[in-house]
Every structure is written in structure tokens, then in C-alpha cells.
Amino acid sequence: MKKIGLIIVFLWFLPVLVLGQENARMKRPESMSIKGSVKEKSTRKAIRDVDVTVLGKGTVTTDVFGDFRIEARVGDELVITHDSFNTIRYTIKDGQRIDIEVQDNPQEAKSPSISKQKRESRYQENLRAAKNSLKKDAATSIEYITNALETIRDDDPSSDDKKAELFESLADIYEYWKQPDLAESNYLLSLKNKYNTDVKIKLANAQLEGKNYQAALNTFDELRRSRLSNTQKAIVYEGLGDSYKGLQNYPDAITNYNKALSISQRKKLDGKVILLNSKLAEVLQQEGNIRDAEEYLDNSVQLAQQKDKKTSARQRSVAADFYNKSNSYGKEIQLRKEALEDIEEIEENNENEGPQAEKDNSLTTQVQNYKIASAFAAQEAYDEAIPYLEESIKEAESKNDLIVQKDATRKLGEVYREKGELEKASDAFKEYEVIIDKLYIQKDQEISQATRFSRELAQRANRITTLEKDRELNEARYELAFASQEIANQQSIRQQIVIYFLIGLMILLLLAGYLMYRNMKQQRYANNILALKSLRSQMNPHFIFNALNSVNTFIATSDERTANRYLTDFSLLMRAVLENSEEDFIPLEKEIELLRLYVQLEHFRFQDKFEYTVEVDPEIDINEYMIPPMLLQPYVENAVWHGLRYKTEKGLLSIRFQKETSESIEITITDDGIGRKKSKELKTQNQKLQKSRGMGNIKKRIAILNKMYKDKVDVFISDLEDNSEGTQVKLILKKDK
């Protein structure tokens, strides 16, 4: 066998030597795909998220198995960096696999997941900052989104969820800053990574905002056919109504608004009910159904009055606009005056809250005063219109609202002209021209700011797009490099035919040696299995014989009822024993059940001799451990028959299953009987006719099992330290590997 081993070793190294010489003569490719791994030296545990860099060419990251693949040339230097060890530099000598082993350093060694934890922390911080700055600075908010996106790795199982969340947040930013086209495209990217009903509703609303009514209709229609909550249904039907209204399909708009209204009323969504009544009134007005429109409008005003001042003022303003279109100026003026009172109170509260209070540009005193004056002027009540126009101009000037100031000044000039007060009209029109010039300058500045704002948003959007494209490009580049290397490998096949022949010969010899070794191992295994079966076949009759002796005792004492009861329990035990008799191993749970039943039977017979306890550590998963059947029963039987049975006072049998390590448990069988020494003396004195084979068989079984399964079971038998009459059996059972 030693000679065969030496020949095999020689043939193993021969092709390697030939291959090395052949490769030395071969022309190496300029660039090759280098594979390798990074692992801890002592534990051989893979380290993921390690950066492997070829200077000046690029960086890759190790995967969950610690493996990497990178394009490089002979002579290039690899720089291997990670938070858990010092930077390592390695010069590439050939195209062989590179396995980097990191030296353990208690001061510097950290968990391989630290990088992942840092990325997760940065991701959450940037996302939170983006949401906080959404309404303050769009560019800053988008920059935070970009930073969060850079923390995502493709090997992260939650990368799709994170991308979906980031693109949704990015779309929310664009939606808030009135960029519906960009919002729509980013909501689509979010849905591409992970479907979410709320995000799809946002997508449809962004399409509405961009006046893409047909696309919005299609999106809302898809949502309508999916599973929705009642609140979502109300939003979807409202969106369908808005889409049909935008397409001037008023009957379908009314139908869907009514469906949304019905759900909102049922679920007591008051804000939605007020809004839908207004929308129904507007669509009915477009159809010319003024009476029904007024009914819905009155409902909305009445409901709004029960809410806060802002809701009430807004709804009165909406109703006033409605009556303005139908030339009902009296109702319009009344509603605007009521709204004006609410707005004055709202503006006062906003001043108390400071500059952060959110304002609605349509709900201002200057706007309402101007519209009241316009309603009076439409009725040629010029004297009533003038005070409201002057108040509107005053308020607009104080708040730098040039648009309302311009309109009110022009209207004031027109009113004076209609009254025949031409000089005052002339002064008003001159003031109007001055305001126009100011407004022109303001608008020019606003256009310039809007242009810069749009350009800045576009730059941020391009950076995010570039990040995604770079990610895809890197994947494509690595795949291309791998394919190129495969082609180069195929070109060298012809030069390696002789090497393959030698390798084939070596494999045949190795196979022959392996077959010889396997046959020898199988023969030893078969012998061990045969020995185990023989011992098991001896164990079952031994156990049955002892149990039947117990039944015989009951019958001999004319205790037939007890014997019958004992036989019933004994039959259950025998069935369990016979079911497991052909198995080499059974789950520990089954062995415990069998042991409980056996001890119960023995206690039934010797109730006046002992009590017993069976304790199982709750930390032990008894389904993870396998044990030879009937391994523990002989020890328990020995404790009862040779220890506790001869004791004058009542004894105690304790069986404990205790977790020792993560891979092993300790089984302790303890009795406070007469002890091994006294038991032997009694046995000699009484001249026992039969010598127990149970313990001998158990020792042989354990010896064979440990030989086959590498020390699976250890057994220690000792006298109790504090009681020379007691006996303790301790077994160490290990998990299967």
C-alpha cells in the first residue's frame, strides 16, 4: 500500500510540473481574470464586503463566501482593505487563484458585518435627512437621496426594497416642487424595484398633475381592479373622476366622484366628503346642471363650517368662485365676506406661529377684497367696490403681492373711469404702469431662479442616473472580461493535450486507490453493523425476559388485575421497542418517551422502593440529537434492580438531560441505592443463577458506535461522593456532524 501511495503522489505532481513548464513557454494574455478569496486565518471564516483594488484600474468587493474576481495583469498590485484588518498589498505573479488569509488581531479584528452596519447607518441617516429637507431645499434633499443610493450594494438582500424607498422619496421631492414629469419617472423606478399600491396611487396623481389624463386614467383603472382598502378605493375613484373631468367626459367623472363620495361618507372621511362635493358641483356646472350643482356646493359649505377656520374659509371661497361663474354676485359677495372674516383670524394666528406657518396663497385678505370689489363692479355698484379695492391694494403692497396689487389697481382705474372721475382713473393707471414694471423685474428674477432650480435638479437627477448606469456597466464589464478569459483558455487547449492525458492517467490510479480504500472501509463498516445488529438482537430478549419476570411476579401473588394493567402498559412499551429495533439511531425525543414508559412500569411494580424524576433542560432541542435505541434503559434497569430494590427505605432515581455545550448534552442517571459494592456482595450470597448481559452489551455497542462515529457517546460510572451507597452514570451525547 505504501508503494502504491508513493506512485500516486509522483503521478499527482508530474502533470503539475509539466503544466508549469508548458505555461512558462506559452505567451500570457495581457489581461486575465484573477479569482481569489479573503478569509480569517484561524477560523477560515469568509469575510464579505472586502474591497479588492487594482491600482489605477478598478475595485471589486468580496461576496458572502469571501470570493472575488478582478481583471489584472502579471505585476499588478492588489490592495485589499477592510475595517476588520490592516490593508494588505499583493503583487500578481501568475494567473493562479489568490487566497488571502488575514492574521487574527484582537485589537483590530472586528465583525465582518461592520461595513454593512456602517452602510445601513449611512443609508438611514441620509434618507431621514432627505425627508426632513424636502420642503426646505430640493437640491439638498436630492443630494441626500444620492448619498443614500451610493450605500446600496447589489449583494444586499434588501437592495430592491431600499431602491424602491429611495426612488419613492425622490419622486415625492419632485412632486412637492411641481416637477410632475420627474416625479412620474421616479415613481415608475420605485415600482420597478418593488410594487406598492400607495406608490402607484402617487404615480397616477403625478400623471394628473402633469395633465397626462389618459395615462392617469389607465393607472387608476389598473388600481381599481386590485385589492384596496376603503380609503384607497375613495382615492382611486376620485382620481378616475379627475381623469374623466380632464378628458371632458363629465358623465363618467360624476359616476366616479359619487362612488368616492359614498365610500368617504361611510367611512366618515370628512375632508374628502367636502372636497368631493365641490368637485361634483364644478362638473355639474360644466354640464349646465346648476340646481344640482348648488345642492352639492351647499353641502360642502355646511360641512366645512363644522371644521376648522381654514377649511371653512377655503370652501366658502370655492363656493364664491362657483357663484361668480353663474353671475350670482349677491351670493358670491356674502360668501366672500364670511370667508374674509375667517381669513383675517387665520392670518393673525399665522403671525403668532411665525414664518414657518404654511400659507395658502388663495386664502388672503387682498385676494378676497379684490374679488368682492370685482363682484360689486360687475353689478355697477362702483361706490361699494372702491373701498374694497383700496383695501386690497393696501394689503397687497404690505405683503409684496404685486400680482394682486396690479389687478386691483387696474380694476380701481376702470371703476373710476366708469364713474367719470377721469383724473383719479389716470392716477390709478399710472400707478398700474409702475407696478407692471416692478412685476416684470420680479418675474424676470423668478424665471431666472426657476431656470437655475431646474438646471440644479437636472444635474442631481443625472448623477443618480449615472450611478445606476455605472452599476450596470460594471456588471457588464466583469462579464465581458470573464468571457474574454474563457476564449483565451480555449485557445490553449491544443497545447495541453499531453497534460490532460497524464492527468487522466493519474485520475485512474487515484480512482483505483480510492476503490480499494472504499472497499476496505465498507467491509469494516459492514462488520460493525453486523456486530451492532447482533448486540441489539441480544438486548431485546434480555429486556423482554426481565419484563416478563415482573408480570410473573404479579401473577404469582394472585394479583391478576395488576398484572393485566401492567401487561397493557408493557405492550405499549414493547411496540415502541420493536418499532425502533431495526434503527441504528432514533431521535432523543423517542428515547426519552420510551425511558419514561419503562421507569413508570418499574415504579408501578416497586412503588414502595423508590420515587423517580425525569428532567429535560428546556434549552435542549431534543429533535437535534440522535441516540442508539435502548441505550439508556439498561442503566436505569441496573439502578432499579441492583441498587434501589434492595434498599430498606424508599429511594430516589433521578434522570437528567442537561445541555453541556452547543454541540453536546450530559445525561445523568443517579440512584441512592445500596451501591455497586454491596450489590455484588448480595449477588454472591444469593447465588444468582443468571449473569446480566445488559451492561456488557451496552459497553460493546458504545465501543463500536464510537469507532464508527468518532466518539459520539462517552460513559462514566462512579459512586456518589457524599454517599458511598449511591451510583451515578453520566453519558455525554454529541450531535451528528
pLDDT score, position 259: 92
User: Which among 209, 198, 143 has a CA at the least distance from the CA of 168?
Assistant: 198
Angstrom distances, CA of residue 21 to CA of 16, 250, 486, 580: 9, 85, 21, 61
> How far, in Å, CA of 534 to CA of 587, rounded?
22
> How far, in Å, CA of 70 to CA of 95, rounded?
11
pLDDT exceeding 70 applies to what percent of the chain?
Answer: 78
What three-state secondary structure class fits 728? Answer: strand
pLDDT score, position 615: 93
pLDDT score, position 570: 80
pLDDT score, position 235: 93
Q: For residue 643, is pLDDT > 70?
A: yes
Span 322-328, average pLDDT? 86
User: Which among 242, 197, 254, 185 has a CA at the least distance from the CA of 217?
Assistant: 242
Mention every residue, 6+ apart, whose C-beta is less than 8 A from residue 462: none
> How far, in Å, CA of 632 to CA of 653, rounded?
13
Span 247-270, average pLDDT? 91
pLDDT score, position 637: 85
pLDDT score, position 26: 44
What three-state secondary structure class fits 346? Answer: helix
Q: What is the DSSP string of 110-149?
A: --TTHHHHHHHHHHHHHHHHHHHTTTT-HHHHHHHHHHHH
Mean pLDDT of the chain: 79
Report which of residues 511 and 353 the model is more confident about. 511
The gap from C-alpha 723 to its chain's centroid, in whole angstroms, comes to: 58
Q: Are 297 and 322 in contact (CB under 8 A)?
A: yes
pLDDT score, position 693: 59
587: left (phi over 0), alpha (psi -120 to 50) or beta: beta
The predicted-structure confidence for 194-206, as pLDDT tens digits, reads as follows 999 999 999 999 9
Q: For residue 526, is pLDDT > 80?
A: no
pLDDT score, position 196: 92
In this structure, what C-alpha cell is assigned to residue 590? 423517542
Write down the pTM of the prediction.
Answer: 0.49
Q: Are 185 and 213 in contact (CB under 8 A)?
A: no
Q: Are 656 and 668 in contact (CB under 8 A)?
A: yes
Q: How many CB atoms lie within 10 A of CB 165?
A: 20
pLDDT exceeding 90 applies to what percent of the chain?
Answer: 14
Q: How many CB atoms lie within 10 A of CB 368?
A: 29
pLDDT score, position 528: 54
Q: What is the DSSP string of 197-251?
A: HHHHHHHHHHHHHTT-HHHHHHHHHHHHTS---HHHHHHHHHHHHHHHHHTT-HH
CA neighbours closer than 13 Å in the CB half-sphere of residue 629: 23
The predicted-structure confidence for 591-628, as pLDDT tens digits, reads as follows 898 889 888 888 887 778 899 999 999 888 888 888 88
pLDDT score, position 653: 92
Mention every residue, 6+ apart, whose C-beta is less than 8 A from residue 666: 656, 657, 658, 659, 660, 730, 731, 732, 733
User: Which among 161, 69, 48, 170 has a CA at the least distance from the CA of 111?
Assistant: 48
Mention every residue, 6+ apart, whose C-beta is less than 8 A from residue 174: 138, 180, 182, 183, 186, 457
The amino acid present at 225, given as its one-letter code, is R
In this structure, what C-alpha cell is assigned to residue 389? 379695492
pLDDT score, position 460: 64
Q: For residue 538, is pLDDT > 70?
A: no
Angle at 170 between CA 167 and CA 174, to 5 degrees: 135
The predicted-structure confidence for 96-151, as pLDDT tens digits, reads as follows 888 888 875 444 434 444 467 777 888 888 888 888 888 888 888 888 888 888 77
Report which of residues 327 and 444 the model is more confident about. 327
By mean pLDDT, which of 128-142, 459-473, 576-590 is the weakest?
459-473
Q: For residue 23, is pLDDT > 80?
A: no
Orientation angle between helical segments 270-287 and 290-305, nearest 10 degrees: 160
Rg of the chain on CA atoms, in Å: 45
Report which of residues 225 and 9 the model is more confident about. 225
Span 631-644, average pLDDT? 85
In this structure, what C-alpha cell is assigned to residue 492? 490553449
CA neighbours closer than 13 Å in the CB half-sphere of residue 601: 30
Q: What is the DSSP string of 657-705?
A: EEEEETTEEEEEEEE-SS-HHHHHHHHHHHT-SS---HHHHHHHHHHHH
Confidence of residue 21 (pLDDT cuts 50, 70, 90): very low
The amino acid present at 725, given as its one-letter code, is E
By mean pLDDT, which of 315-324, 446-455, 650-659, 684-693 is the weakest?
684-693
Strands in 651-661's sheet, in edge-to-edge order, are: 610-616, 651-661, 664-671, 727-734, 713-719
Strands 727-734 and 664-671: antiparallel
> How far, in Å, CA of 392 to CA of 405, rounded?
7
pLDDT score, position 521: 61
38: left (phi over 0), alpha (psi -120 to 50) or beta: beta
In this structure, what C-alpha cell is assigned to residue 248? 371632458
What three-state secondary structure class fits 87? Answer: strand
What is the four-CA torsion angle of 129, 132, 133, 139, rounded to 10 degrees?
A: 50
pLDDT score, position 357: 39
pLDDT score, position 360: 60
Q: How many CB atoms lie within 10 A of CB 330?
A: 11
> How far, in Å, CA of 333 to CA of 381, rounded?
12
The predicted-structure confidence for 650-706, as pLDDT tens digits, reads as follows 889 999 999 888 888 999 999 988 887 787 777 655 445 444 556 677 777 777 777
In this structure, what C-alpha cell is assigned to residue 218? 389607465
The predicted-structure confidence for 156-171, as pLDDT tens digits, reads as follows 788 888 889 989 998 9
Report which of residues 252 and 342 the model is more confident about. 252
Q: What is the DSSP string of 414-434?
A: HHHHHHT-HHHHHHHHHHHHH
What 3 state SS string does 233-245 have?
HHHHHHHHHHHHH
pLDDT score, position 541: 63
Strand-pairing partners, residue 51, are 61, 81
Span 480-488, average pLDDT? 56
DSSP code at position 65: T
The gap from C-alpha 351 to its chain's centroid, in whole angstroms, comes to: 45
pLDDT score, position 106: 43
> How far, in Å, CA of 64 to CA of 535, rounded?
48
Quick one: 353 exposed, middle or buried, by C-beta within 10 A (0-12, 13-18, 19+)?
A: exposed
